[in-house]
Amino acid sequence: MTIDRDELINLLVEKTGMNRVEVEKQLDELISRIMDAANRGKALEIKGFGLFYFDEGGELTFRASDQLDSEINFTHAGMEPIEVKPPKSAASTPPKELPVEKDEEDTLPVKKDDADKPVKQEDTADIDDVYGIGKTLASQSDDDDEESEQSEPFGKLFQEEPAEVKPEPKPKEKISKAGTAPAKKDGSDTEAKKKTAAKSRDPMSVIIVVVLAGVFLFAAYFVFTEFLDPPEQPEMSQQQDIELEDPPATAERDVTEATEPEEPQPDQVPAPENEPEPLNDPIDEVTTTDPYGLYGEIAETDGDVFTIVVHSLRDRDIAEQTADELRADGFRINVTERIVDGQTYFRVGIGQFPSISEAQQEATTLPDPYNNQNFIHRLQ
Amino acid sequence: MEPQFIKGFIRVVKEQVALDNRVHIDGIGQFQKTHQTQTQKRLEDGSVVLMPPKDSIEFKPDISQENDDR
């Protein structure tokens, strides 16, 4: 709706209480004063309303006062710019620089303000206060500009608005283009930091894992060996006996068989001629006075004496028990004590022979598994 | 010029413009309200700010110095 001259006069009559003629006269005078001042290249200010002047393009221009601006903009009062993306550097420019920057999105009023500025600077000194009701806007307007931009306490109102208006596409693209570079930079920085952090963690974690694995393996080995030690029982398998026997045998040879270590050990000694069945006829052996052989009692002999060791145990009692069992079968049993690698072993030997070869030959005649799992040991 | 008239004139123009009415003064021009939508701006320091919407008064002159000269 447009308020024309008649309607304006009616409204002025209502507001001022003056009669219509007087109002018309005052209105005409106001118009003539504005035109007169503008034509003289000066500006006419109506305090609390605005400034009339001719701009550089020769157009009559009106610049609203801050008071009028704020009253017209009462629905958006207190809204202030919100920072969407922080500045590149820590030292950010204050928002009051906004009007200075020319942007494509600026609409007509803003352009108008920009156009006004140089004129204002030129004319403020020559402002013609025709009606004595105003003063120069120069200082006032500058102060008001800063104040209106800095003191806008109703930020919440603005936060409710975003859905209302969408930003124009061009600035958005500009912003996105300009904004992506630093954003990516930041992202890459953080990724790089993460990578370097991961790299720096890797060696440490590897070292920790290796150390833990080593400790675990050592503990497992310790526990495993602790569980293996007890099996020096009579019920243990012959294989285990042999495993225990092997080291002492070599160690023993170093000590006791130094004189004849070169003696070959035949792998497969042919079975001797029909030996008398030892188990069936032990009494005959016992009655014989021959100090050598598988069966009989331990007898004193001169010279070298070898025996076939079939058990090597750590426990003396078990060794003695095993010896008794074999002795019950008629075998010539001896139990000797040996220290190998700091550990004491009790060896259960069968028979006594004048030479290693004879002992080896007789070992093949032993019942299974002794015929395969044994070694020759020098008694004296 | 009566101060009473000046005050009344200011008041009438303000009220009518605020009500989205255009106030036309013969020989001078027309006052009307314009609405600037919310926009985004990028500052020189790289920051992007969201400018709030704004209502302002706009003056469309009827005359210019060139026309007067003619």
Whether residue A311 is predicted with pLDDT greater than 70 in this model: the reply is yes
Contact criterion met (CB < 8 Å) for A174 and B42:
yes
For B22, which residue in chain A has the nearest alpha carbon?
A: A2
Query: CA-to-CA distance for A28 and A31, rounded, in angstroms?
Result: 5
Q: Is beta strand A60-64 parallel, antiparallel or unpaired with respect to A82-85? A: unpaired
Distance of residue B70 Cα from the nearest chain A Cα, in angstroms: 12
**Closest to B26 in 3D by CA, of A179, A246, A6:** A6
Quick one: three-class SS letters along A26-57?
Answer: HHHHHHHHHHHHHHCCCCEEECCCEEEEECCC
Query: Which residue would you say has higher pLDDT here, A230 or A339?
Result: A339
Tell me which H or E stretch contains A311.
strand A306-313
CB–CB contacts below 8 A, A to B: 236
Chain B touched by A87 (CB under 8 Å) = yes
- How long is chain A? 380
In this predicted model, what pLDDT tens digit does every residue of A115-164 receive, in sequence order? Answer: 333 333 333 333 334 333 333 333 333 444 433 344 333 434 444 443 34
Give the model's pLDDT for residue B23: 92
Contact criterion met (CB < 8 Å) for B25 and A31:
yes
* Chain B residues touching A92 at Cβ < 8 A: 43, 45, 47
Query: CA-to-CA distance for A342 and A322, rounded, in angstroms?
Result: 23
Whether residue A236 is predicted with pLDDT greater than 70 in this model: the reply is no
What 3-state DSSP class applies to A290? Answer: coil
**Closest to B35 in 3D by CA, of A373, A208, A200, A108:** A108
Contact criterion met (CB < 8 Å) for A30 and B1:
yes
Query: Which residue would you say has higher pLDDT here, A353 or A138?
Result: A353
Whether residue A320 is predicted with pLDDT greater than 80 in this model: the reply is yes
Least confident of A30-44, A57-71, A132-146, A288-302: A132-146
* Chain A residues touching B2 at Cβ < 8 A: 16, 18, 22, 26
How many helices and strands (H and E) does chain B possess? 2, 5
Average pLDDT of the residues in A3-23: 89
* Chain B residues touching A39 at Cβ < 8 A: 65, 68
* Chain A residues touching B42 at Cβ < 8 A: 101, 103, 171, 174-175, 178
The answer to whether A13 and A23 are in contact (CB under 8 A) is yes
Whether residue A373 is predicted with pLDDT greater than 70 in this model: the reply is yes
What is the pLDDT confidence band of residue A200, given thresholds at 50, 70 and 90? low
For B59, which residue in chain A has the nearest alpha carbon?
A: A62
The structure tokens 């209106």 sit at A148
Contacts of A281 (CB under 8 A, 6+ apart): none
Chain B touched by A223 (CB under 8 Å) = no
Give the model's pLDDT for residue B34: 92
The conformational region for residue A31 under phi > 0 = left, psi -120 to 50 = alpha, else beta, is: alpha
Contact criterion met (CB < 8 Å) for B17 and A80:
no
Query: CA-to-CA distance for A323 and A171, rounded, in angstroms?
Result: 104
**Closest to A43 in 3D by CA, of A140, A143, A124:** A124
Average pLDDT of the residues in A348-364: 87
Most confident of A144-153, A179-188, A348-357: A348-357
Chain B touched by A56 (CB under 8 Å) = no
Query: Which residue would you say has higher pLDDT here, A172 or A294?
Result: A294
- Angle between helix axes B3-18 and A20-39 (nearest 10 degrees) is 90
What is the pLDDT confidence band of residue B65, given thresholds at 50, 70 and 90? low
* % of residues, chain A, pLDDT over 90: 6
Report CA-CA distances (Å) from A119 to A57, A69, A146, B63.
10, 19, 19, 18
In this predicted model, what pLDDT tens digit does every residue of A90-116 receive, in sequence order? Answer: 544 454 444 444 444 443 333 334 433
